[in-house]
Amino acid sequence: MVLLQRPHILLLLIGTHQFLQCWIAFGSVNEEGQKQEEFSEELLLKPLPDHKLLAHFHFQSSGPPSTSNGCHHHLFPKAISQLVQKFRIKEMELSFTKGRWNYESWGGFDPLSSSNAKPPGVELWAVFDVPQHHIDASWKNLTHTLSGLFCASINFLESTATYSTPEWSFPPASGNVTYGTLPCEAVCTENLTPWLKLLPCRDKAGIALLLDRPSLYRGFYHSQQLHLTSTGSSSEGIDSGIILEQTLTVVLQPNSEMAIEVHASEKHIQPSWSLSSIFGKQVSGRCVLAKPSSVYLLLDRGLPAANGLTSENFWSNPSFELSANPDRIFLEESSSHSKSLSILYMFQVEKYCESEPFDIGLMWKVPVAWLCQQTPLHASRFLMGSGNERAAIAISLKSTQFTEGFMSANSKDGSCELRVDVFQVVPWYVKVYFHSLRVFVDQQPRAVSDIIEKIHVSPSKDKMSPGVMEVVLKLPCRVNTAALTIEFDKGFLRIDEYLPDANQGFDIPSAIISFPNFHASMVFLEDDSLNKSPLLSKFQEKCPVMSYTEVLLVPLTTPDFSMPYNVITITCTVFALYFGSLLNVLQRRVAEEERFLKAKAAKKTGRLPLLLSKLSAKLRGRRLEPLHSPPSSSSFINSKLVLKVILVAGLAVGWQYFFS
């Protein structure tokens, strides 16, 4: 009542409250000089050679040390902060992927594909800052927490038979890393919705407004990731901040009706597209809590339209036309791995609003064709053999254009060597014979000691741990093909260990092929805005070049799950016939049935037979018995018959149970 009587005090309190909210939300600096929470949103669009479009959403949230704000957060998701503090996580990455990255068409030697191309299903790896004997307990609790947080079956990775600890062949992480995958996990909107709830504006404003579910899940490739990095070490007594990176990578097919109408007779037609035609929406402005809010258009290396472009002639390019004027243009510096350079267009979303939404479009004027830069060797994996007893896994490596050009140019007197790391995890029911490892180079068998420089194997244990193989190959630079083969036996499972779709087969996770001597990066000309963009800063970092192979589907010996039903059905039928016949025999009364039949026959014959029967009875000196209908008690089973039936039934059940 006092505040209502003094409206100027009430207005002052409301204005002060709003000012404090804005001051906290936009990441000011506290008295100690520590940086507060920040959030950025960015989108990268990239045309692909096979007439598709790559859209890469990048959201980054940075949280300060917990001592600065206590348990309260304004931008950073509280659930993630509690997760890091509870399990003492140094680094963690979780990915949900649907589809497989096409390394031949979409490239593999660039920061985007090396960091965001993931295997199908769920992949989780983490580095804990705990003693060695506490890692298993921390991993188990972490999988259960993530399973509830993202509405997935990540808790299936809690068992020691589903995860492994690679020593030196897993390039994304350094240290004592724990790695696990679920290749058969289905990815749907139930996993995307909790992922979006970690964003300050969710999908209600900013670039995240483009995340239309039907548009995303009808694409050829879909991968959402969550990467956590703790910038300090709690073991040193320093409570550091957390960096949370949320990325969503999708490969979509633009609507090519316009391109078909214009260039119906051309062979290589790149479809024209726009944001509204791909996602069905436009960007009506940035998220008010995001500082950098930008959209980038990347023209890949090798694209003819990107050669010779500068900030002065991009409008007069004869190959394409943009529907919006870019705010900045970044040119890539010279690279030793490629003669052609990439060009990056930057569009700032802050300038647009609901009355003037942002909608970038690209119109191709002439047909173009190019190739993305690939990894030094293209890796593929397949199964050999037939039957339900024994088979073999083969990993094939084929040279690419990168190998033929760069590697041959850097060879010195034929002594150039190409190092390849292979990391393979197999389930415990795949009994791998590691001594059967064979190596082929250019389709010729080679000695294992000549090609394999280093190897580490961990045989699987039944229901305890999977089989792990880490191999370092040293191949000649001019190699055309190389292959690894290893034999295995197919194990037997208990009936309760089979999956609901056991007849489909069992999955073997993807193998990781990495090239330690090569790193992918995209360095642009120095500019102040590059340091403000987390996406461009990440592109300039050197990331290891790696690729994932296919997921293998192994058919195991599967029992006939319908046999129990058939046995129960046949047994019940036999028992029904047996007891039905037995009860029918025990319930019958022969004398009463005969009298009933005689009475029924007498009624049908009339009075003459009745008189004859009376006369016969008098001659014999016997009294004529009156004919009665069967009494009502004939349908009643007395207690003795019930006891007999129960006794016979008990003997039959005991006999059946004993001999079964």
pLDDT at site 312 = 54
User: Strand 467-476 and strand 452-458: pairing?
Assistant: antiparallel
pLDDT value of residue 22: 47
pLDDT at 318: 72
For the segment 351-368, what is each residue's pLDDT rounded down to a tens digit? 898 888 999 999 888 888
Where are the chain's structural domains?
Answer: 38-259+268-364, 377-404+415-510+550-561
pLDDT average, residue stretch 2-29: 49
Q: What is the pLDDT of residue 585?
A: 74
Question: Alpha-carbon distance 546 to 483, whole Å?
Answer: 17
Span of 29-33, 65-69, 177-181, 563-567 with lowest mean pLDDT: 29-33
Q: How confident is the model at residue 234 (pLDDT cuts 50, 70, 90)?
A: very low
Indicate if the pLDDT at residue 592 is higher than 90: no
Residue 305 to residue 314: CA distance in whole angstroms = 10
Of the pLDDT bands very low, low, confident and very high (cuts 50, 70, 90), residue 19 is very low
Q: What is the pLDDT of residues 460-496, one digit of tens each?
A: 998 899 999 999 999 988 899 999 999 999 988 888 8
- The residue among 462, 422, 434 whose CA lies nearest residue 159 is 462
**pTM of the model as a whole:** 0.80
- CA-nearest of 374, 338, 381 to 515 is 374
Instruction: Give the pLDDT confidence score for residue 590 in this predicted structure.
Output: 64
Per-residue tokens: 399: 């040279």
Residue 403 has pLDDT above 60, yes or no: no
* Per-residue pLDDT, 624: 59
Average pLDDT of the chain, as a whole number: 81
Judged against a pLDDT cut of 90, whether residue 428 lies above it is answered with yes
- Both tokens of 605, joined, read 């014959």
pLDDT in tens, 326-336: 988 888 886 65
Q: What is the model's pLDDT at position 32? A: 43
User: Residue 218, class by beta-carbon neighbours within 10 Å (0-12 exposed, 13-18 middle, 19+ buried)?
Assistant: exposed
Flag whether pLDDT at 245 surpasses 80. yes
> What is residue 566's predicted lDDT score, i.e. its pLDDT?
86
Percent of all residues in the chain with a pLDDT value above 90, rounded to a whole number = 42
Q: Where are the alpha helices (DSSP H) in 399-441?
A: 401-402, 408-409
Higher pLDDT, 373 or 70: 373
CB 327 within 8 A of CB 284: no
Among 385, 405, 402, smallest CA distance to 394 is for: 385
Q: Is the pLDDT score of 610 beyond 80?
A: no
Statement: residue 223 has pLDDT above 70: yes
Using the predicted structure, report yes or no on whether residue 33 has a pLDDT greater than 50.
no
Q: Does the pLDDT of residue 377 top 90, yes or no? A: yes
Which residues make Cβ contacts (< 8 Å) with residue 115, sequence separation at least 6?
538, 543
Residue 321 has pLDDT above 60, yes or no: yes
Question: pLDDT at residue 10 above 60?
Answer: no
Contacts of 461 (CB under 8 A, 6+ apart): 161, 428
Residue 433 pLDDT > 90, yes or no?
A: yes
Beta carbons within 8 Å of 228's beta carbon, 6+ residues apart:
80, 83, 84, 89, 91, 92, 93, 242, 243, 244, 245
Split at pLDDT 50, 70, 90, the class of 605 is low
Average pLDDT over residues 498-510: 89
CATH number belonging to domain 377-404+415-510+550-561: 2.60.40.740
The pLDDT score that the predictor gives to residue 599 is: 74
The tokens for 492 are: 């037997």
Q: What is the CA radius of gyration of the chain?
A: 38
Q: What is the band of 660 on the pLDDT scale with cuts at 50, 70, 90?
A: low
Task: Determine the average pLDDT of the residues in 547-563.
Answer: 89
More confident position, 653 or 489: 489
Residue type for position 503? N
pLDDT for residue 29: 41
CA distances from 503 to 174, 430, 510 (A): 39, 16, 21
What tens digit of pLDDT does each residue of 81-99 get? 899 989 999 999 999 999 9
List of E strands, 448-542: 452-458, 467-476, 481-490, 506-508, 512-520
Q: pLDDT tier at 632 (50, 70, 90 boundaries)? A: very low
User: What single string gives the DSSP state of each residue in 323-387?
Assistant: SS--SEEEEBPP-SS-SS--EEEEEEGGG--SSS-B--EEEESS---------SEEEEEEEE--S
**pLDDT the model gives residue 31:** 39
